[in-house]
Amino acid sequence: MTHIKRISELQVVIGHEVTLNGWLYKNRPSGKVQFLMLRDGSGLCQCVIEKDKLPEDLFGQIKHLGQESSLSITGLVRQEPRSPGGVELAVTAVEIHTPAVDYPITPKEHGVDFLLKNRHLHLRSQKPWCIGRIRHTVIDAIRRFFNDNGFTLIDTPIFTTIAGEGEQTLFEVDYFGQPLHLTQTGQLYLESAAMSFGKVYCFGPTFRAEKSKTRRHLTEFWMVEPEVAYIDLPGLLDLAEEFVFSIVQRVLKDNHDELETLGADIAALEATQTPFVRLSYSEVVDILTSDRTQKFMAAQLEQFQGQKRMMEQELAQIEAADAKGGLKKWQQEKNARRLQKIRSELVELQVKIDNNPKHARLAADFCWGKDLGGSDETIISLMHARPVFVTHYPKAAKAFYMKADTEDDRVVENFDLLAPAGFGEIIGGSVREDDYEKLLARIDEEGYNPDSYQWYLDLRKYGSVPHGGFGLGVERTVAWITGEKHIRQCIAFPRLMDKVYL
RNA sequence: UCCCCGAUAGCUCAAUUGGUAGAGCGAGCGGCUGUUAACCGCUAGGUCGUAGGUUCGAGUCCUACUCGGGGAGCCA
C-alpha cells in the first residue's frame, strides 16, 4: 500500500514505499541513471531513477522534462547523506502531470528587476521559499506571544477617518464620495479597545505614501501593534524585549535549515539575549558626536579599503594569469566567473566607501532636536551586538499623542528598537498622553482639527489611565533575522514607491 | 526632488586608445550507473534601451528621452 507523503515527513517512513506530489526542481540525467530533484512545498528530495525500473519510453520522456514540470513520483524511501534532506527515493513509478518548457528562472544568478517581474514564479525558488517559511514562523510567534500573555486581538479598520502621524503620508481613497485614508496605524482605535480589554493587539497590513526609496521601506507592509492599559515606559521596554526575544528563539528552533540555506548569521541570532541595550536619545546624540564614533567610522573605512585592496590584488592576479595564457578551458571559465563576482562586489564596496565619510559627517554634525536619520541608526546598531532601545526623543520630532516626560518636558516617553548589525529600526512605540487638556493642546499645536479627534479625546475624559504600546514591522524583522539586505524580499508581493510589479 | 552608476543573446556579464559583436549558464541533439550550480562534444540564438548628432567607420564619443539600481532628503 503506497501512501502520499510530503518530503518533510520522509524521515519517519524510511524503508516504505511512498508517493510524492511535486515539481521538478532540477534534472541530472546520466546515461542509465537519472537524478530528479523534486520540490513539493515542504522541502527538496532527490529521486533516483534506474533505467531498467521504468518503461523505456517513459525513462526517455523524463530525461527531457523541463524545470518545474509537475510530477508524482513513487518509490522506496532510503537514507542517503548526499540528498538534501538526508533521504532519497528509489523510484518505481512516475506520473507526469504537465511538462514545463523553457521555465525562465534557472538555478543561476538573476538581476533584481528580472526576479521581481517574475515574482509569481520566483516564489518557487529556494531563497524566497526559505524567507516565506521564516516569515510564517515570525507571524505565528507574534500571535502566540500575545495570545499566551493575556492579550485580546482587535481588528482595526483599514479605511480610517483620522491620521496617526500627519496626513501627507497617507493614501487617500474615495469612499462613496467621502475622502478616507488607508490606515497607517491601528493605534488610535487600539487605545479605545485597551480601555475595554486591558491588553490588546492588532495585526494587519498598513500603508504609507512616503516617497522613500530605500532598502527599509515598502508602501504596504505588515505591522503588529500591542496596546496596554496601566503601563509605563519601563514596562513597555520589558514587554518589547521579551516579545522580540521570543520571536528570535522560535525561528532558531523551527527554521534552522532555512537560516542555514540563506546564510543567515545564526551565531549572532543566538547571541541576541536579554537584556537589550538601553540608551536615551540624548546619550545617542553624545555617542554620535563623540570621538568614539569618528574612530569607529574611520576603522570601518579602513576595513573597507583593506577589503578593496585585497580584491583588486586578486583581480590583477587573475588577469595576469589569463594574459600569460596556456590555461585550460575550464580554468579560463572559472577565472571569468570569479572576475565577474569580484567586480560586482567591488562596486558594492565602493558605495560603502563613498558613503562612509558622508555618514560620519552627518553623525558628527548631529544636533539635539533632530530625528535620528537612517545612517545614524545604522551606526548605533553597528556598535552593538544586541538590539538597542533608544528612548526619550525630542517632542518636536515625534507624534502629537506621545506623553511628555515628567522630568524633562522637552522629550517624550517613547522608544525605538534598533536591530543589531546595522539593520536599524524594527519597533517604534510610546506611552500615550493621557491628560485631556495636554492632548488637546498638542492637537492645536499641530494644527489638527479637534473635531476629528473627539472620540479619541473622549478616552481621556472617561477613566483615563496611563497606557502605551508599540508597533513592530514584520518585514523589517524578517529582514534582520534572515540577513536580507532589502525588505522587498521579505513579503510575497512587495509594493514599492512608484513600483508595483504584479 | 537632488546626486552617482547602469541598459549588449532567454539569464548573468565581456568586448584593449572608435575598426568584422563574444563567453558561461539556459534551450535543442548526442555521450556517460552516484550526480550535487555535474561533466564532455555539437547546434540554434543579437536592429548593442529609444531618437538624433560627430566620424570614412560608433556597442564604444556627444545631446535628449525612457527604464532600472544605489544613495540623500523625508519617513516605520
Q: Give exposure, A261-299, as e/b (b: 16+ Cβ within 10 Å).
A: bbebeeeebeebeeebbebbbbebbebbbeeebeebbee
Nearest to A60 by CA among A26, A87, A94, A90: A94
A383 and A246 both lie in a single domain = yes
> Which whole-number Å values give the CA distances from A380 to A299, A350, A417, A418, A498, in the listed order?
15, 22, 11, 8, 30
Residue A448 grid cell: 489638527
Residue A404 within any structural domain of the chain: yes
Residue A220 within any structural domain of the chain: yes
Nearest to A352 by CA among A275, A300, A414: A300
A334 and A416 both lie in a single domain = no
Residues 6+ apart with CB under 8 A from A206: A183, A184, A185, A186, A220, A221, A222, A223
- Residue A165's identity, in one-letter code, is E
CA of A321 to C1' of B56 (A): 38
Closest-approach nucleotide to residue A377, Cα vs C1': B76
Residue A498 within any structural domain of the chain: no
Nearest residue to B13, CA vs C1'? A340
Residue A502 within any structural domain of the chain: no
| Contact criterion met (CB below 8 Å) for A89 and A102 | no
Write down the pTM of the prediction: 0.93
A94 and A59 both lie in a single domain = yes
CA of A328 to C1' of B58 (A): 35
* pLDDT score at A188: 93
Q: Which of the listed residues A98, A126, A149 is the one where a domain comes to its end?
A: A98
| Contact criterion met (CB below 8 Å) for A117 and A103 | no
Closest-approach nucleotide to residue A104, Cα vs C1': B10
Nearest residue to B11, CA vs C1'? A110
Reduce the DSSP state of residue A131 to 3 states and report it: helix
A256 and A134 both lie in a single domain = yes
CA of A348 to C1' of B3 (A): 17
- Residue A59's identity, in one-letter code, is F
* Number of structural domains chain A divides into: 3
- Beta-sheet strands, E only, within A7-110: 17-30, 33-39, 44-50, 70-79, 87-98
Closest-approach nucleotide to residue A495, Cα vs C1': B76
- Supply the range of the domain harboring residue A80: 3-98
Residue A104 within any structural domain of the chain: no
A40 and A12 both lie in a single domain = yes
A41-52: pLDDT as tens digits: 999 999 999 988
* pLDDT score at A166: 57
Closest-approach nucleotide to residue A31, Cα vs C1': B32
A205 and A304 both lie in a single domain = no
A249 and A374 both lie in a single domain = yes
Closest-approach nucleotide to residue A358, Cα vs C1': B72
A205 and A241 both lie in a single domain = yes
Nearest to A131 by CA among A418, A477, A472: A477
* pLDDT score at A47: 94
| Strand B positions within 7 A of protein Cβ atoms | 1, 5, 10-14, 23-29, 31-41, 68-76
Residue A142 within any structural domain of the chain: yes
Nearest residue to B4, CA vs C1'? A351
A310 and A395 both lie in a single domain = no
Residue A500 within any structural domain of the chain: no
Q: A242: how many CB neighbours lie within 10 A of its CB?
A: 12
Query: In chain A, which stretches have pLDDT less than 50?
Result: none
A89 and A135 both lie in a single domain = no
A340 and A373 both lie in a single domain = no
* pLDDT score at A83: 85
Reduce the DSSP state of residue A442 to 3 states and report it: helix
A196 and A327 both lie in a single domain = no
Residue A86 within any structural domain of the chain: yes
CA of A28 to C1' of B36 (A): 10
Q: Which of the listed residues A365, A392, A410 is the one where a domain comes to its end?
A: A365
- CATH code at position A38: 2.40.50.140
Cα separation, A237 vs A252, in Å, equals 23
* pLDDT score at A359: 87
Residue A36 grid cell: 530528479
Which value does ipTM take for this structure?
A: 0.89
β-strand pairing of A172-175 with A178-182: antiparallel
- CATH code at position A264: 3.30.930.10
Reduce the DSSP state of residue A52 to 3 states and report it: helix
Residue A91 grid cell: 523510484
